[in-house]
Structure 1
Amino acid sequence: MNLRRTMFTLAAAAVVSLATAVPAHADQKVTFKLDELNGSGSQATATLTARDDGSLHVKITGDGFTPNSPHAQHIHGAAHSRNFFCPPASADKDGDGQIATEEGLSQYGDVFVSLTTKGDTSKKSGLAVDRMPVADESGRLSYERTIPASGLPAGTIDSLQHLHIVQHGLDVNGNDKYDMAALGESVFAKSLGVSGIPEEATNPATCGEVAATGGVETGADSTGGVENLGLFAAGGIALLGAGAVLTVRRRVRVTA
């Protein structure tokens, strides 16, 4: 009897061990909407899926974006914090009808992950628009990438419900490109020592918060801020407009 009881105990322990060996966050998935900001006319749907190897699969599809142009996009937030959110209209401090990047900083928080198409995904690549997705000629934008655990900040997977996504770049004057005519020069870019960047290229176009109810569950979708764009990409930024290429070749250092 004692031998049978011992064998049962060992078997039960083995089952518990196997169960706990799989990360609690394996295959968590959240799907949420990215709503327009600044009258951009843009909207998107994002899905974040945490894999059991610690990687994060990101899929974003949307429309209404400035055609044939790159759109910087990021996961924003902080591990285990709900203190960041998409900016309300009141964030427009100068009353010009636009929430500029610098006006949204306190609501956005820091860049958690730069959603580039390849290479580095840290906040250093916050405006590496040569590696950001480009909307097609109809303004549709599609992005899909699996970011390995090594490319994610600590706490990303365990904090999905605290994160959100912001996409940048809008066409205020309706000429299908980024230019100075509508909003002038980007104050944010100029504050980093980079001149000649249109405000249209850096202002936020969409924002969406992960607003999971009752936590994020395996396989469950939840439908629903944060930004310090950090460094311009070392080596430059290519801002593509219809018939125009704006290239910046300057390394800028920003303290957190």
Structure 2
Amino acid sequence: MKATAPIALGAAAALSLVTAGAAQAAHDGNPSPRVASYSYSLDPVQAESVPNSQATGSTRVKALPNGKVQVKVTASGLMPNAPHAMHLHGVDGPSTDMGCPGPAQDADGDGYVTVVEGIPSYGGILTSLTTTGDISAASALALDRFAVADEDGTLEYTRTFSQDAALANADTVQVVVHGIDINGNGAYDFEAGPSSLTDAAPLEATIPVLCGGIAN
């Protein structure tokens, strides 16, 4: 079963949860009188033992002088010809630096770091990095509106948008990319089980593959 249709579920609410215990930090000063630009590498979330999980990438988040935010994501080694959900994660409120999860966050020892297991590290969703339309947490799993990796597993994404939460927290967000073809059959299916968010979505479609941000 290939999961490419939007999944309108309580999953968005789960993803928008913010957990306690994040380190408080002052926001960085604007490096330019005109544009605040923050660039990070995107690193694998999963252990090397997870098949097809060792992608690489980079991201840049810009707070523009017109009050808009521009996000660019470049990644390679992703599942080819498939949409990849991407989000800005963090805390909308007091300046809070979150971080990226790694294999140590596999709390249940099943070999995978799921979306839910990653939330204590990267926080809730501030922005869904869709290609068109809504960018709120309600679009967290709208796979028909996320960027699609090409036949080589390369993804290029740029979008400029207006959103208060993204603008206010541009210097502390984590950028998270999801989707791994664990069984290598070229489709998001349920062989590895359901998502940690909802039984209606496969684990493969929601599992975090890359993460990067200020705390890493």
What interval of TM-score do these two structures reach, taking the shorter chain for normalisation? 0.7 to 0.9
- Distance in 2, matches of 1:120 and 1:81, equals 25
For residue 189 of structure 1, give the secondary structure of its aligned residue in structure 2: coil
Q: Select 2:210's aligned residue among 194, 206, 209.
A: 206
For residue 164 of structure 2, give the secondary structure of its aligned residue in structure 1: coil
Q: Select 1:169's aligned residue among 153, 176, 179.
A: 179
1:49 aligns with 2:57: no
For residue 116 of structure 2, give the secondary structure of its aligned residue in structure 1: helix
Q: Which moved more, 1:85-94 or 1:75-84?
A: 75-84
Partner of 1:64: 77
Cα displacement (A) at 1:105: 1.9
More helix by share: 1
Query: Which one-letter code corresponds to 1:201 in the other structure?
Result: A
For residue 49 of structure 1, give the secondary structure of its aligned residue in structure 2: strand
Cα displacement (A) at 1:172: 1.5
1:141 aligns with 2:155: yes
Unpaired segments of 5 or more residues in structure 1?
Answer: 1-23, 212-223, 225-256
Partner of 2:3: none
Unpaired segments of 5 or more residues in structure 2?
Answer: 1-31
Partner of 1:217: none
- Distance in 1, matches of 2:39 and 2:98, equals 19
Conserved? CA contact 1:113–1:153, under 8 Å: no
1:91 aligns with 2:99: no
The percent of aligned pairs where both chains have the same amino acid is 39
Conserved? CA contact 1:48–1:58, under 8 Å: yes
- Distance in 1, matches of 2:126 and 2:196, equals 22
For residue 180 of structure 1, give the secondary structure of its aligned residue in structure 2: coil
1:160 aligns with 2:174: no
- Distance in 1, matches of 2:133 and 2:141, equals 13
Partner of 1:119: 133
Partner of 1:107: 121
- Distance in 2, matches of 1:74 and 1:25, equals 27
Count of matched residue pairs: 179
Q: Select 1:30's aligned residue among 18, 38, 48.
A: 38
RMSD: 1.8
Whichever of the two has the greater Rg, that structure is 1
Assess, with a 3 A threshold, how the Cα gap between structure 1 residues 187 and 26 changes in structure 2: closer, same or farther: same
- Distance in 2, matches of 1:48 and 1:56, equals 7
Note the alpha carbon deviations across 1:146-184, whole angstroms, 9 max, x for none. Answer: 112xxx134x33432211101100011222322222x12
Partner of 2:194: 185
Conserved? CA contact 1:80–1:162, under 8 Å: no
For residue 135 of structure 2, give the secondary structure of its aligned residue in structure 1: coil
- Distance in 2, matches of 1:48 and 1:186, equals 28
Cα displacement (A) at 1:83: 5.0
Written as runs of structure 1 = structure 2, the 5 A alignment for 1:199-238 is: 199-211=203-215
Assess, with a 3 A threshold, how the Cα gap between structure 1 residues 80 and 26 changes in structure 2: closer, same or farther: farther
- Distance in 2, matches of 1:198 and 1:49, equals 32
Conserved? CA contact 2:45–2:100, under 8 Å: no
